[in-house]
Structure formats: structure tokens, C-alpha cells
Amino acid sequence: MSAPLVRSDQGVTVIGGGAVLAGELRDALTAAPLLVAADSGADQALELGHRPDWVIGDMDSIGDAARRAMPADRVVEVAEQDSTDFAKCLSRIEAPFVIAVGFAGLRLDHTLAALTTMVQDGFPRVILLASNDIVFVAPEELRLPLTAGVRVSLFPMGPARGQSEGLNWPIDGIEFAPGGRVGTSNVATGPVRLRIEGKMLVMLPRDCLDVVLQALTEQP
């Protein structure tokens, strides 16, 4: 694991080269004002009117104009090819949480790689914004003050199990696995409490971002 380069007592936004709407980046920066671009994410950030504080990656896809727009000491080239640009960024960030934009919506392989990166140990907590959803790794215990009818999807990234309160279909006693049982399209009946063993992704509608931020930042 690399030594932290980007340190913040607030959240950090990481932007990639996938689909990003101006509103998505604005929402992310409101909650996590420090902006780190993963390689060609710098081009996207500049097109949306924001110069990144840092650019980190193998620099195989950043545009010449974006390179020229950045101070040389804020462009960190990491030549190794054993990790994605997203992982290169996360390994160099020390912050309470990261909001990731631009890692979903254009290429499925990049989205899957980002989700796989999120469940690796040693990285900050990540909330990934997609066009209609937010995705994050469930901590061991999570309380979400949701209203009845909100979609709650659970997707295991390995063997996982848990207990739930406030779900229409409780998860108690279920053995989850990527090639077996998954928990898509469950529904909240009110406030939700989860206890999770293993690596489990939680997927909620985009308008739950503030609720999730509060819940995750209250975690130790």
C-alpha cells in the first residue's frame, strides 16, 4: 500500500473517465470538495468547469490540454500496470470517505473493475455514484433512516451473510455468494438496520446520498 499523498479531514471526490453529468460532479463536490482525477478523469473535470487538485494514474489516456492545465507537481504518474487508475488514487488518499464519479455508465468492464476495487481492504470508504444509483460496501453494522418503499439491493462480492430489520424480505439465514443467492430489488418497510459478515455491496437510489453519507460517517 502506498503512503497517503492526498490528505483531507473532509471527503474526497475522485473522477474517472466514464459518464459524468455536471449535476453528479456538483453533488459530489458539495459533500467532498477536494477533487482527484484518475488519469483521463482530468479531461472530464476540466470540461465540466473544475480543475482537479490532483491527477493520479498511469497517464496513458489523459489529454495534452489537461496535462498543460495542471501544475506539474500535482500530476502523479504511477507506471505499474498491476492496479487500475482508481486503485492508484484510493491507495494515495487518506480521508473519511471518497465519492467516486465517472466509473459507471460507459464501459461495463471499467464499472466492474471499480466495484472490485471498492471491496479491497485498506482503502477509504467509497460511495460510487451512477446515473440512477449509489453503491457502497456495507460496514459490519449499518442503520439507514429510509422511508417505506425505497429500493434496497444487496450484492455479495464473496461469501456473505447477515441480519436485517426493516426489509420486506429479511436476509436472516441466507448464504449469499456471487454465483449463488443475491439480494437485488428488496424494499424498505421503514428505517433499515443491517448486520453484515463478508463483502456486500449496498445499492440505493441516487436521492439517498445524504442519508448514506450521514450513516457512513457515523461509523467508527
Mean pLDDT of the chain: 94
Q: From CA 49, how far away is CA 106, in angstroms rounded?
A: 21
Under DSSP, is residue 62 helix (H, G, I), strand (E, B) or coil? coil
- Torsion sign across C-alpha atoms 32, 37, 41, 46: positive
Per-residue pLDDT band at 81 (split at 50, 70, 90) = confident
What fold, for 6-131?
A: Rossmann fold (3.40.50)
Q: What is the pTM of this model?
A: 0.94
Q: What is the pLDDT of residue 220?
A: 63
Mean pLDDT of 49-78: 96
Query: Is the per-residue pLDDT at 3 higher than 90?
Result: no
Cβ count near 115 (within 10 Å): 18
Q: Which residues, in sequence order, are bridge partners of residue 34?
A: 12
- Pick 19 or 150 by higher pLDDT: 150
Q: What is the pLDDT of residue 106?
A: 73
Predicted confidence (pLDDT) per residue in 11-48, tens digit: 999 999 988 988 899 999 999 999 999 999 999 999 99
Query: Measured between alpha carbons, how far is 132 from 124 in angstroms, rounded to an integer?
Result: 23
**Mean pLDDT on 77-92:** 93
Read off the DSSP letter of residue 106: S
Instruction: Tell me what pLDDT residue 2 has.
Output: 67
Beta strand pairing status for 183-205 and 141-144?
A: antiparallel
CATH of region 137-207, choose from 2.60.120.1310, 3.30.70.260, 2.60.120.320, 1.10.1040.50: 2.60.120.320
Domain spans of the chain, in order of start: 6-131, 137-207
